[in-house]
Structures are given as structure tokens and as C-alpha cells.
């Protein structure tokens, strides 16, 4: 999309007691550089976390967001990331990544900060090992997110 800036001058003419305004030709038309229309980009913050995945006993239970937990969906639980957020989770050991939505609080195991659904764990290759060091990058955080909800 291009925005054009046009500068036009108008001159007043008085002929026989009648005043008329006559526009002059456009002096210069310039395209605005695209960089002036875009907000400055910021580099996303990447967090290294120790993560696990929900066991089968949680299937069907209500999550903190009010949804029923489905291990076949791409979701996760976090104590530090606000509910409703979408994050990219990457396994640096194999380079595979997945986007998940935070729907629950947890895990409540010392040293862990993220619990993935079984499907998310399978997609990044940690379902067999159970626990892994992963990289988490926030993609979308809701405007009305309560960052402290899971800490209460």
C-alpha cells in the first residue's frame, strides 16, 4: 500500500469584481517510504524452560480456562505465561516446533514451567522421554491477560 503526498496551491483571481479560486498544478508527488508506515520491529524474547506433558489421567478434566482438557489438541499449561496466550515451543535437540495455546495453570512440579498436551509433545518429539529443555517464544498475548492468575 502506498500513500501519496500531494501539495496543491490555490491562487485567488479577481476579474471584473468576481473572485475565483483557481488551483495550480500539483508541485510534487512523492511516495512515503514503507518504513515510515510500519511500527519498529522488536526481537521476540525466547525463554529456555524445562517442560513435560500431561499424563492421560487429565483427559476430560476442566482446565483453568473453563475448557475440558483434550490431549489431542495443541495446548499447554503454564504458571508464568497468561491464559489464552499462544506460544511457539521449540525443541532445540531436533529443531521441531509447535504453536500451542495456554489453557491451564501448571505444572506444579519444582523446576518445570510448562506442561504440553500429548499431541504437542509428539509433534516436537518429547513424548517418549517425558521431560525436555525447550525454547518458548510468545506469539500472541491477549490484551486483557491476567499474568498473575496462576500465581494466586
CATH assignment of the domain containing 112: 2.40.40.10
Copy the grid coordinates of residue 65.
480456562
Q: Is residue 24 part of a domain?
A: yes
Average of pLDDT values for 118-139?
Answer: 96
Would the pLDDT of 33 be above 60?
no
Average of pLDDT values for 59-88?
Answer: 94
Q: Are residues 27 and 85 in the same domain?
A: no
Q: Are residues 58 and 28 in the same domain?
A: no
Q: Are residues 78 and 102 in the same domain?
A: yes
Confirm if 104 and 68 have CB atoms less than 8 A apart: no
Would the pLDDT of 4 be above 50?
no
**Whether residue 144 has a cis bond before it, omega within 30° of 0:** no
Q: Are residues 136 and 89 in the same domain?
A: yes
Would the pLDDT of 133 be above 80?
yes
Listed in order, strand segments (DSSP E) in 1-152 are: 4-6, 10-15, 18-23, 29-31, 46-53, 75-78, 86-90, 97-104, 114-116, 132-140
Range of the domain at 14: 4-36
Average of pLDDT values for 19-42?
Answer: 45
- Residue 35 DSSP symbol: G
Q: Is residue 41 part of a domain?
A: no
Would the pLDDT of 122 be above 50?
yes
Q: Are residues 95 and 133 in the same domain?
A: yes
Q: Are residues 50 and 16 in the same domain?
A: no
pLDDT at site 20:
52
Q: Are residues 58 and 77 in the same domain?
A: yes
pTM of the model: 0.70
Q: Are residues 29 and 53 in the same domain?
A: no
Q: Are residues 15 and 90 in the same domain?
A: no
Alpha carbon 108 to its chain centroid, in Å, reads 25
Q: Is residue 69 part of a domain?
A: yes
pLDDT at site 83:
94
Q: Are residues 115 and 70 in the same domain?
A: yes
Domains of the chain: total? 2
Amino acid at each position: 500500500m502506498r500513500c501519496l503526498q500531494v501539495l496543491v496551491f490555490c491562487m485567488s483571481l479577481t476579474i471584473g469584481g468576481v473572485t475565483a479560486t483557481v488551483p495550480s498544478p500539483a508541485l510534487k508527488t512523492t511516495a512515503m517510504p514503507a518504513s515510515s508506515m510500519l511500527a519498529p520491529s522488536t526481537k521476540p524474547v525466547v525463554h529456555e524452560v524445562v517442560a513435560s506433558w500431561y499424563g492421560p489421567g487429565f483427559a476430560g478434566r476442566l482446565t483453568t480456562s473453563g475448557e475440558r482438557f483434550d490431549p489431542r489438541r495443541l495446548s499447554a499449561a503454564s504458571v508464568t505465561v497468561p491464559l489464552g496466550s499462544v506460544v511457539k515451543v521449540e525443541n532445540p535437540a531436533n529443531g521441531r516446533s509447535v504453536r500451542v495455546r495456554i489453557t491451564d495453570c501448571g505444572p506444579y512440579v519444582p523446576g518445570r514451567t510448562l506442561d504440553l498436551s500429548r499431541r504437542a509433545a509428539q509433534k516436537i518429539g518429547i513424548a517418549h522421554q517425558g521431560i525436555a529443555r525447550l525454547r518458548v517464544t510468545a506469539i500472541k498475548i491477549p490484551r486483557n491477560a491476567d499474568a498473575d492468575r496462576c500465581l494466586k
